[in-house]
Structure formats: structure tokens, C-alpha cells
Amino acid sequence: MADEKKLTSRSEDFSSWYNEVVLRAELADYSPVRGSMVIRPWGYGIWENMQRTLDEMFKETGHENAYFPLLIPMSFIEREKAHVEGFAPELAVVTQAGGKELEEPFAIRPTSETIIYSMYAKWVQSYRDLPILMNQWANVMRWELRTRLFLRTSEFLWQEGHTAHATPEEAEEETLLILGIYRRFMEEWIGMPPVTGLKSESEKFAGAVRSYSCEALMQDNKALQAGTSHFLGQNFARQFDLKFQSEAGAEEYAWNTSWGVSTRLVGGMVMTHGDDAGLVVPPRLAPVQAVIVPITRGDDTAAAVLEKSHQFAARLKDQGVRVKVDARENLSPGAKFYEWERKGVPFRVEIGPKDMEKGQVALARRIVPEGAGRKEFVAEDQAVSEMPSRLESFQTELREAAWKRREENSHRGVKTLDEMVEIIENGGGMVYTGWNGDPAVEEMVKERTKATIRCIPTEEFRSGSAPDRCVSGEGASTMEVAWARAY
RNA sequence: CGGGGCGUGGCGCAGUCCGGUAGCGCACCUGCUUUGGGAGCAGGGGGUCCCCGGUUCGAAUCCGGGCGCCCCGACCA
């Protein structure tokens, strides 16, 4: 960095910018253990707000929380063939405990399908015991070769929902219900509108029949898989003997779904809204929505300004605003301004002696709309009463900007591989083409462009007129797919 | 696992080529003056120079070995 105080700009080096934002906005820090991170209060506060909202959404749709253990017998993981093949390379395994070699090693959960369905098997006898709709908030571990703060850490926090149903139709409906919840959460809370769709065979979850995902486009035009919802069929039920007696009296295997989002969402938020001054946190997720910086002088007005600041904070709080007074004495106001900007607080309120005389406050918005001034002087009462609506319009503005950016970087009607290469190598983005469904084409395109099929888009995301030829030039298109380089 | 970079007060770095008193900026502590966009002055505290071994009168610096972290790639719900 030329200037130690400034961040590397996004255009200079997006990857460095991202790391610097995460570290210097105090979202997280590297831990002593390779590939794992410490989530600091500012980052965890954002995660807690995500959790709270999602948790409510799950409960509103009939799900209950439970908790299953961290350690899973190795034999469980090995039971479902595709599952073990998918996860074996990245398992961390406990082989010793209590000073002794264990008879059977335990895997530290990379995901909990196996242990959860083994328990469901115990709890389910009749169709009357179904559906089971459970979720757990947990940590999981996947020993990735290469890690990145929030985007891919060896240990991460997530929620994993696991359900069991009597019919495939009901399970499929559940899978899509959750996909919709994820999408709504990403749009309305993170302001990160994803494209939803089905994963190709090669990209689907290890053990699933079908995987659906939310794919969000970041500012560097790479896609981030932000959430997945899987229809597991009876794959796990068969392996774990999860059976029930149907209304007609027959013994049948249950139909399962699993779905999850993780702390990766925090990384997605950073890469969706951050700018060269640092983080921008959407108001609905911000631990502090408005920070009050008292401007004091070394005279007898200082006490009054501080008192006014706290009063003002209390009034905002009454309006349901999450607010903080930054009364630190060792920092100048300017230093505080930069710090809160770096952390992405939506609004800053300055209160000084001059404002007190005029009964006003200075209001600074973290992102300033086109043509607007940096600071706005607003009458105190008005600032209080308007703050909730100002926060909401800030939220809306972020979402709309992200939506616009996604659309501007979505390339539809791309017919040839050459055309696709041209786009991917010059700025990138989401490229929509026809596909004949052949995995070899998928592999070939990946080889050539480093882009992968992010998803086979849900109907509403498909292009107006369906492509008729496969991007490979060979054969008719059987479906439209969205390609992008991905995290 | 391949390529690159880096390990020196809390953080960022210089010093290493050419061996000889461990330094700078920020942060921290005390005091005074300040405070509307990264405060100033004065005083002060803090370091096994990643580890092990070797060469040398003497090693942050030279030699050998090891470890760790970050970035790029391969891999990856």
C-alpha cells in the first residue's frame, strides 16, 4: 500500500482489497491455525443478524432447531457412496482421545446428513411421524487446500436443515420452499440478488439427487454460490434405514432434503456492497445503523454535547434504530469518521456546539446518492423521525444497485464458445448459453474458460427466447445454463 | 502438491547484498494544548530479529536444515 491508511482499490487488486476490508473493518482475523479464522465482534454481529432473520423464517415455515454432535463415526460417512467420495478428501479425523488410540476414528462433521438420518431412523416408525423438519446452527470442518476469509475457511459456521418426508413430491416442495427463503433473504436483507437454479450433475452435492443453489454475482464478476438446497431422494434413507409404514401399510423409505447457508454470506455481502473506502453494511444487517460522533471542544460545551448525543441516541433507539455513541476521547472526529466508514455503518450523525445552537444534527450517509452532498444538516426532530425510513431507502438503494449490476453483467443469447471466451476474458460476468446436457461439453468449456455451469436457471431467470443450439456447436440445446467463473 | 512472496516491539516496514551499539512510522503510557475529515509538542515503556545447527573474536546479516503464514494455480458444499 502506498498510503498505509488507504485500502488497495478494487480495480487495482480485488483480492487484496477484499482481504484488507475484512481485516481492517475488523470482521475477522487470521487465527493461529491454518485456514481458520477468528470472527470478531463486528463480523459476528452481522452474522447474528443474519442468523436471527433466517431462524425466524425457518420457524415461520414449521422448522424446529435441534443440535447433533460434532463427531461422526467414520463408518457413517462411508455408508453413502457418493457422499464419502465427495467428502473424504477434506475430512479432518480424530484418531486419539483420552490418551488412547480410538477403536473407530471419528470424523469432525463436514456436514451432518449421516448422523442426523441415523437418528431420524430411530424416531420414525409411521407416516404419522413425518415430516420431520429440523435445522441446526453449527460449525463444520472441511480441510480445504486453499482458504479465504469467510469464503472458504476450514472451519465455518452455518445452519443445516434436514427434513424427512413421506413422498418425493413433498420433499421436492420443501427443497424449493427453502430455496425461495434463501433467495428472499439474500435480496431483502443482504441486498444481494441471486440467480437461482438447478446444479448440473457434476456440481451437485455429494449424495443428492438434485441440488438447487443461489448464485450471486460479485463486483469482480465472479459468482458466489451463496446457498444450496438439496433433494436427497431416498439415498440416505436407504443407507440409514430410515423407514416408515405408510397409510396403506407398506414399508417405505423416507424422502430427505438438506439445505444450508454459511458465514460465506458475510463474504458475499462484502463483495457485493463494499467500496474503496471499505465495507458497506446493509442497514438490516448492521450491528450499528447510526453512529453518533460528538464534536466536542475543550471548553464547557463538551459536557452538554455529550449529554445531547446520548439523548439523541436514546431517541433513535426508541425508533428501533441500532445506535452507538462514539465518545472516545483519544481519537479526533476525523479519525472516527474514517473508522466507521471502513466498518460500513450506514449513517453517521455529528453533533457539535453549532448544531446544538441551531437544534440540528449533521447527517452523513455511508454511500452518497449521485449529485447529493456529503453531509446534510437536518433538524433534530426530523432526523429522529426520519431515520427508520432513511435506513429503509438506504437498504433499497443497495439492493437495486446490486440488481442493476447483476443485470448489466449478465450476457444473454450467447451462441458460440468464441463469443463466450471473449466475454469471460474481458470482464466476465454471468453468461447464458444453450447446452446439450453433455458433461463432456461442460468439462471442455471449463477447461477453455475456467467458467463452470453455475446453474440451470429457474424459469424466471431464463432468457426470453430459449437458445436452440448447444454452446459447443454440437447438437441442439436441451436447456439454458448460466456460466461464470466462481469462488 | 507446484510457482511466488514474507517471517525483525501490538501493526506496517527498513536494516541482510558488504557481519561490529537493533532502527523508523503508526499504535501504546504520562502531561499540556487540541477536537466539524486520519491532531501537535514534550517525555516514556516495550524486541528470544520464526526455530535448530554451523562458520566467526563477534551473526538479524554468511552457510545448512526445519517450521509457519500469505498470494497465484491445481482441488473444492
| Residues A422-431: tens digit of each pLDDT | 999 888 999 9
> Average pLDDT, stretch A203-225?
95
Q: What is the C-alpha to C-alpha distance for residues A323 and A302, in angstroms, rounded to an integer?
A: 20
Confidence of residue A336 (pLDDT cuts 50, 70, 90): very high
CA of A298 to C1' of B33 (A): 10
**CA–C1' distance A32–B68 (Å)?**
10
- Residue lying closest to nucleotide B36, CA to C1': A295
Q: Are A278 and A7 in contact (CB under 8 A)?
A: yes
Q: Which residues share a beta bridge with A165? A: A255
CB A171 within 8 A of CB A165: yes
Q: Quick one: what percent of chain A has pLDDT higher than 70? A: 99
d(CA A59, CA A248): 31
Q: How confident is the model at residue A300 (pLDDT cuts 50, 70, 90)?
A: confident
pLDDT score of A1 more than 60: no
The answer to whether A196 and A221 are in contact (CB under 8 A) is no
* b/e per residue A438-460 (b: at least 16 CB within 10 A): eeebbeebeeebebbbbbbbbee
Domain ranges in chain A with CATH number 3.30.110.30: 410-484
Q: Contact A399/A188 with Cβ under 8 angstroms?
A: yes
Question: A14-273 architecture in CATH?
Answer: 2-Layer Sandwich (3.30)
Which pLDDT does position A3 carry in this prediction? Answer: 58
pLDDT at A307 (0 to 100): 94
Q: What is the mean pLDDT of residues A8-19?
A: 88
Residue with cell 469482480: A220
Mean pLDDT to the nearest integer, A255-260 = 98
A305 touches strand B (CB under 7 A): no
Q: What single letter denotes the amino acid at residue A286?
A: A
Supply the ipTM of this predicted assembly.
0.90
Residues 214-253 of A with CB under 7 A from strand B: 225-228
Torsion of CA A227, A233, A235, A238, to 10 degrees: 140
Separation of alpha carbons A27 and A37, rounded Å: 10
Closest CA to A446 of A480, A414, A426, A471: A471
Query: What is the tens place of the pLDDT at every residue in A143-198?
Result: 888 889 999 998 999 999 999 999 999 999 999 999 999 999 999 999 999 999 99
Residue A367 neighbours by CB distance under 10 Å: 16
3-state secondary structure chain A: CCCCCCCCCCCCCHHHHHHHHHHHCCCEEECCCCCCEEECHHHHHHHHHHHHHHHHHHHHCCCEECCCCCEEEHHHHCCCHHHHHHHHHHCEEEEEECCEEEEEEEEECCCCHHHHHHHHHHHCCEHHHCCEEEEEEEEEECCCCCCECCCECCEEEEEEEEEEECCHHHHHHHHHHHHHHHHHHHHHHHCCCCEEEECCHHHCCCCCCEEEEEEEECCCCCEEEEEEEEEEECHHHHHHCCEEECCCCCEEECEEEEEEEECHHHHHHHHHHCECCECCCCCCCCCCCEEEEECCCCCCCHHHHHHHHHHHHHHHHHCCCCEEECCCCCCCHHHHHHHHHHHCCCEEEEECHHHHHHCEEEEEECCCCCCCCCEEEEEHHHHHHHHHHHHHHHHHHHHHHHHHHHHHCEECCCCCHHHHHHHHHCCCCEEEEEECCCHHHHHHHHHHHCCEEEEEECHHHCCCCCCCECCCCCCECCEEEEEECEC
Neighbours of A23 (CB within 10 A): 16
Return the CATH fold of A290-389: Rossmann fold (3.40.50)
**pLDDT at A99 (0 to 100):** 84
Look at A59-73, A260-274, A331-345, A370-384 and tell me which has the smallest mean pLDDT.
A370-384
Per-residue model confidence as pLDDT tens digits over A393-407: 999 999 999 999 999
In Å, what is the separation between the CA of A90 and the C1' of B13?
A: 37
Q: Which residue gives the smallest C-alpha to C1' distance to B28? A: A330
- Answer whether any strand B atom is within 7 A of the Cβ of A148: yes
Q: What is the mean pLDDT of chain A?
A: 94
Least confident range from A36-40, A105-109, A364-368: namely A36-40
Nearest nucleotide to A140 (CA to C1') is B77
Q: How far is A202 from A204, CA to CA, in rounded Å?
A: 6
Share of chain A above pLDDT 90, in %: 83
Selecting from 3.30.110.30, 3.30.1280.10, 3.40.50.300, 1.20.1300.10, what CATH number does the domain A410-484 have? 3.30.110.30
Q: Distance (Å, rounded) from C-alpha A167 to C-alpha A252?
A: 10
pLDDT the model gives residue A162: 98
Give me A65's grid cell: 432447531
Cα A128 to Cα A62, A118, A235, A245, A456, distances in angstroms: 16, 18, 21, 9, 35
Domain with CATH 3.30.930.10 in chain A: 14-273
CA distances from A276 to A3, A18, A21, A367, A428 (A): 13, 10, 9, 11, 21
Extract the C-alpha cell encoding A464.
426470453
CB of A446 under 7 A from strand B? no
pLDDT over threshold 50, residue A2 = no
Q: Is strand B less than 7 A from the beta carbon of A328?
A: no
Give ranges for CATH 3.40.50.800 in chain A: 290-389
Position A355 pLDDT exceeds 90? yes
> A207: which residues sit within 8 A by CB, 6+ positions away?
A80, A82, A83, A86, A113, A230, A232, A235, A236
- Residues with Cβ within 8 Å of residue A56, at least 6 apart in sequence: none
- The C1' atom of B34 and the CA atom of A304 lie apart, in whole Å, by 18
How many residues would you count in chain A?
487
Confidence band (pLDDT; 50, 70, 90) for A346?
very high
Whether nucleic acid strand B comes within 7 Å of the CB of A261, the answer is: yes
